[in-house]
Amino acid sequence: MGTFMLTWNPDAYDWEEEGGDYDGGVARVASGATIKAMWSMGARRYGVERGDRFYLLRQGVEPRGIVGSGYFTTGEIDEDEHWDDPGKTAWYAEVVFEFLVDPADGLPTSQLLNEVPGFGWNTTYASGHEVRGEAVDQLHRMWKEVTARSKRRGPGD
């Protein structure tokens, strides 16, 4: 199973997935639902399999860091109209978000830089990069703590 990084910059892309805006998505997931979306994969055209995991890296505005996770529903990456420029195309994969947290409750980039070496936390600008080696296990452990805290608090806390 692979682990990939998807990116989201709120300054460049308004969250319009199931649940409305990003806060609505957080509330939807906190209530036990998931969010299905077609997500841009940057330059990646292949190499993803059904069930592969992903983390969502919030970029641009603070707080930056990991704010979500989920899995790929298929191994297909399809070309379609670009999300920001109708004159261009982009590559998309279908994903399911299982967890979304308030950005202030996520894994901040500063912590990722210190505790998960081997991935370009400040140099990854597009989705689709694979996380490899020890970084996968460390990231999984850290994210498990975040999601456990989030579940204990519950929706609306």
From residue 117, alpha-carbon distances to 6, 75, 126, 147 in Å are 18, 28, 19, 21
Residue 63: cis peptide before it, omega within 30 degrees of 0: yes
Which of the pair, 87 or 152, is modelled with greater confidence? 87
Q: So what's the pLDDT on residue 54?
A: 97
- pLDDT at site 152: 57
pLDDT above 60: residue 92: yes
pTM of the model: 0.92
Between CA 40 and CA 43 the distance in angstroms is: 9
pLDDT value of residue 153? 54
